[in-house]
Amino acid sequence: MDTLAFYLFWLGSAVVLYTYIGYGIVVYGLAKLKGKPTPIQPLPDADLPEVTLLIAAYNEAPYLETKVHNTLSLDYPTDKLIVKFVTDGSSDNSREVLGKFHNIAVYHQPERRGKIHAVNRVMKYVTTPLVIFCDANTDLNAQAVRNIVRHYQSPDVGGVAGEKRIFKKAKDNASGGGEGLYWKYESFLKKKDSELHSVVGAAGELFSVRTALYETPPENMIIEDFYLSMRIVGQGHRFIYEPEAYATEMASASVEEEWKRKVRISSGAFQAMGMLMYLLNPFRYGIVSFQYFSHRVLRWTLAPLSLVLVFASSLYLAGQGLLVYQLALAAQVFFYAIAFLGYLNRDKEISIKGFFVPYYFSVMNLAVFAGLGRFMRGSQTVLWEKAKRSVVNEP
């Protein structure tokens, strides 16, 4: 028993440390050794390609007017930017709100069959060489389209991932504070992944692909943005990360709302990993397999399990009177105690954002187990309940 606990503790600790800290150090070092990529300059207006901006919106009426104004104010030639909204299944007045604008195309069907069905349906009408996808409840920076498009001057680039940013508030609750810090670290990893070779999975808030490479995802696909981007990478193309093309959105209104989103993503992750199993063949995919396994697969599988095994094994070994395991157990108890304090104060707005990190980290990993349960039961569908977003309540 002592031997088993010993191996579980040290192997589990190695998995956890590598997944959440070590990979960031490794990919940073490898990208540093490779050297900085040659800067790609924006194209002059005359050479800019036509682009379709495709926005899927389900019951997003409160955001749509702002979204249209934001979209039409983007710094890109209006005769080269085609804007398409699809509002399939919306039961609010989304269609009427969009109908007030005559320089956008609106597609609507009363039946709700999920975001990916709506996107697949409208992609049949996209004729531009590039298509950009973004969410209806986000604001894009003015230079977003230009900064995305410039990367397609490289023929090996199949897609470009923009940056997701969470609206900053001076004080925030557990969801806003935790989610904002999480995405800062995730953005760092995406940047280094891109510098090393390729991003391993784009976020649906803002990403772009060559239209010719768009592969219709199955209509039961839950995280279609991740699946589509990884299919393109698997075909030998690179997915570039462009932090100067960013989509800003409000954090989830509460951790309970963020929980809905995380569980859905986790359930979709198991579905996607099953379909993308072939990418784990390093003899065929090389560096892509390393990045995919380190950045995604470990985070969705062995790392959450290892957290449980490390705690259980250190609890047992600490009882044997060994100081190193007693200290390890004390550190874990302290971390989870802070997480519990975060739980008790999750709806309070606190200026120290790092206070909520242990709680958000714990919720994120628990969501993996909940997502696995949904996946195994087959209870997660594309007709998911949206997470409510917080509102700006400060000047």
| Kind of pairing between the strands at 51-56 and 105-107 | unpaired
- Domains contained in the chain, CATH given: 45-296 (3.90.550.10)
Rounded distance, CA 340 to CA 103, Å?
51
Q: How far is CA 73 from the centre of its chain?
A: 25
Rounded distance, CA 172 to CA 183, Å?
15
Residues 83-103: tens digit of each pLDDT: 999 999 999 999 999 999 989
Contact (Cβ atoms closer than 8 angstroms) between residue 381 and residue 115? no
Amino acid symbol at 128: T
- DSSP per residue, 226-273: HHHHHHHHHTT-EEEEEEEEEEEEPPBSSHHHHHHHHHHHHHHHHHHH
Residues sharing a CB contact under 8 Å with residue 53, sequence separation 6 or more, in sequence order? 71, 74, 81, 82, 83, 84, 131, 132, 134, 145
- Give the angle subtended at the CA of 264 by the CAs of 262 and 266, to the nearest 5°: 65
Spatial CA neighbour of 320 closest among 23, 79, 18, 5: 5
Edge-first strand listing for the sheet containing 139-140: 105-107, 81-86, 51-56, 130-135, 206-210, 157-166, 238-249, 139-140
Rounded distance, CA 360 to CA 259, Å?
10
Q: How many CA atoms lie within 13 A of 321 on its CB side?
A: 0
Host H or E run for residue 36: none
In the block, which residue shows the tokens 């989103």? 261
Predicted confidence at residue 389, as pLDDT, reads 64
- Where helices occur in 19-124 by DSSP H, the ranges are 23-34, 61-72, 94-99, 115-123
Q: Which two tokens stand for residue 261?
A: 């989103």
Rounded distance, CA 176 to CA 255, Å?
9
Residues 103-146: tens digit of each pLDDT: 999 999 999 999 999 999 999 999 999 999 999 999 999 999 99
Amino acid symbol at 29: G
Predicted confidence at residue 393, as pLDDT, reads 46
Rounded distance, CA 335 to CA 342, Å?
11
Rounded distance, CA 179 to CA 251, Å?
7
Q: Name the stretches of the chain with pLDDT < 70.
A: 168-179, 253, 351-353, 384-395
Contact (Cβ atoms closer than 8 angstroms) between residue 90 and residue 171? no
Query: Which residues is 249 bridged to in the sheet?
Result: 166
Query: Which residues is 139 bridged to in the sheet?
Result: 248
User: Residues, the chain, total?
Assistant: 395
Angle between helices 174-196 and 255-275 (to 10 degrees): 30
